[in-house]
A and B are shown apart, each in its own frame.
Chain A
Amino acid sequence: MSMLHRAVAGLLSCALLASPLAAQKAAVPPKPLPSAAGYKPQDKLEEGLWFEMDEQERLLKQSKFLVTDPGLNAYVKGVLCRTVGQERCSATRLYIVRTPYFNASMAPNGTTIVYTGLLLRMRNEAELAAVLGHEYTHFEQRHTLRLFKDIRAKTDALSWLSFIPIPYVGMLSQIALIGGIYAFSRDMEREADAGSLNELARAGYDPMQASAIWEQLGAEQDATAKVRGHKSQKDKNGGMFATHPKSTERMQTLREKAAAFALAEPGATRAAEYRAALKDWWPTLIDDQIKLQDFGGTEYLLATLAGPDPAGWTPELLYARGELYRSRGQAGDFEQAVAAYQAAIEAGQRLGGGAIPETWRGLGLAQLRLGQTAAGKAALRDYLAKKPNADDALLLSSMAQGA
């Protein structure tokens, strides 16, 4: 989470979020729940928090990062409402933000933020529902409020008020810090895990989908760290991947609890519906991911999305693999990229849907880097024939001239 790191850098106060909270004991939340219709803050602290969050939400509505596509918003909000039910869903307002990291958050006032990076990483609707159900439990159980109470108890009174407006970092990072996936304690995570399983089962989703997500997230962070040669960040915040209990134990618990739901009929994953809803956005989301230049994490992610069956490598995923290798450009990478682009074109022909035009662009550029001049220029001309009005058409045609 480089955004989180960016925000954490130089912010002494953020250390407050991380360490002491791990030891926090879950308290029995008082009634009524924030999900109830007409709920109002119960004390001064909660009022202050709502005040801040309402202001952040006002800014969020004007953000250039907001994804305003009504179709995508309606779909994701629909999944949330299907998961927690229409009535409880009405306590929330959903915002999708263009940020290529795995994160989602729900603020105490019901502001719900979903990062586009989360949408890229989910393989089906049930996985998205599991994350939303998980975050909803944090919201309904007022976990963020408890974090703030804890901070206030351990530091000067009201000092949290001064740490909310972090200059220059931006409100998205702030919200991610305050109520994002990485903020909560282990007890809160257990509670949210259990909550998400209940929501999934009640909504008719397959509860088994919940455990895979968190495993995937941890493994992706390991993969990023391995290639970059630093320690994995997954254990950094104490909550999500705390070493005690080990995250593997947590996944095991999730699987066992999920299996215990004796559903009348098998839970749905709604993979086809998910793919259809994301179809128009997918090229943008994968492009944002590749441009992070996180080779290890992205390679892991592509393999996860493809799944164990080689047929899972769609023309789009093969194209993305080509872009990933071409973008890194180390020894052997252009050969790998050419192979991936060619496989994408072949798979497109075999499946009938074709490959996206940019596949020929990538192929031509990778071949040029390998000194395969004639083939590279031919591929660029193929691309320009498919996309004569591309933004870089002038430059490419100057590069494609001659045999």
Chain B
Amino acid sequence: MKTLKLAFAALALAPFAAPVPAAAQIVLSNPWKLVRAGEARKVGKSDLQVTAVGDWNRATERQTKESENWTQNGIGLDDLGFYAAVKKGEALFHQRDKKKDPLPKFDPAMLPTDIVEWFENSARNALGSAVFEVGAVRPAKLAGADGVEMDFSYATEGDNLERKGTARAAVIGQKLYLISFDAPKIHYYDEGLPSALAIMNTARIVK
């Protein structure tokens, strides 16, 4: 989620968001790596493997150890987030202030509905937004395991764009795996969703 990053690392993201002058690009290391269509890779060196459907740009900066963010048009226009192997007691997103602003912790005992609520609570607090609604929720498979798929919509104060998203999650071997796609409601969500779902379908656990 692009705006999650904005919320907790506002200024750090600025180099991605703002056009960089040509001269400056020479000295900056490239924060993006290409993921070619058909390439299978382990998310953040975890045991979650996904295969790219279409070409994507992978951010080399990571929110948490076993997570990755991919985009096709730029992180503000579409964001495919992979969150692998979240263990008991861990938060879904990076916590800016663990003490004063803690994010809810994962518990393998969570029911499918609890995962949905936990995702929503994590996102609301990381984004600093109460304008976040979970819509339809349905049973789904992720990496062969029974899980849940949910649609959601939200806005943040930062850019006032209406965004839509779809996330799929499952608990596998006491650990949480979640893949979330979100993009502005105008054009980008509908455009990016099919390949995002296709990538979710390729997810598997490899040892």
Using a CB–CB distance below 8 Å, which chain A residues touch chain B? 2-3, 5-6, 9-10, 59, 62-65, 98-100, 116, 167-173, 228-230, 233, 288, 291-293, 327, 329, 365, 368-369, 391-392, 394-396, 398-399
Contact = CB atoms under 8 A, between A and B. Distances in A.
Interface string B112-142: 1110110011001100111100111111000
Interface in B13-27: 13-14
A170 B113 contact: no
Query: Which one of A62, A64, A170 has the highest number of Cβ atoms from chain B below 10 Å of its Cβ?
Result: A64
A104 to B, nearest CB: 16
A168 B121 contact: no
Contacts of B156: 170
Given A62-B160, A64-B131, A292-B125, A228 B102 contact: yes
A230 B99 contact: yes
A391 B137 contact: yes
Contacts of B97: 5, 9
Nearest to A290: B121
A352 to B, nearest CB: 30
B104 interface: yes
A369 B115 CA distance: 13
Given A3-B128, A167-B14, A64 B114 contact: no
Interface string B49-66: 000000000000000000
B131 A395 contact: no
Nearest to B140: A395
Contacts of B160: 59, 62-64, 170
Query: Which one of B7, B96, B97, B113 has the highest number of Cβ atoms from chain A below 10 Å of its Cβ?
Result: B113
B137 A394 contact: yes
Contact of B137 (A5, A173, A229, A392): A392
A62 B156 CA distance: 13
B117 A391 contact: no
Contacts of A168: 6, 10-11, 13, 158
Given A170-B156, A230-B100, A365-B113, A2 B128 contact: yes
B171 interface: no
A2 B137 CA distance: 29
B111 A100 contact: no
A111 to B, nearest CB: 16
Query: Which one of A5, A62, A65, A168 has the highest number of Cβ atoms from chain B below 10 Å of its Cβ?
Result: A168
A96 B57 CA distance: 40
18 contacts: A5-B97, A64-B155, A65-B130, A65-B157, A99-B130, A168-B158, A291-B120, A293-B104, A327-B104, A329-B114, A365-B114, A368-B111, A369-B111, A369-B114, A391-B135, A392-B137, A396-B113, A398-B139
Contact of A98 (B13, B130, B139): B130
Nearest to A285: B130
B107 interface: yes
Contacts of A368: 111
Given A167-B10, A228-B102, A293-B102, A395 B157 contact: no
Given A5-B97, A5-B101, A293 B121 contact: yes
Interface string B1-42: 000001100110110000000000000000000000000000
Nearest to B120: A291
A229 B99 contact: yes
A398 B113 CA distance: 11
B191 interface: no
B32 to A, nearest CB: 20
B86 to A, nearest CB: 16
Contacts of A293: 102-104, 121, 125
B94 to A, nearest CB: 13
Nearest to B99: A230
Given A2-B128, A291-B121, A394-B136, 17 more contacts: A2-B101, A5-B100, A9-B96, A59-B160, A65-B131, A98-B131, A167-B14, A168-B6, A168-B158, A170-B158, A170-B160, A229-B99, A291-B130, A292-B124, A327-B117, A365-B114, A368-B111
A252 B85 CA distance: 54
A168 B7 CA distance: 8
B92 interface: no
A291 B103 CA distance: 11
Q: State the 5 A-B residue pairs at the shortest beta-carbon distance, nearest first.
A: A170-B157, A64-B155, A392-B137, A168-B10, A288-B130
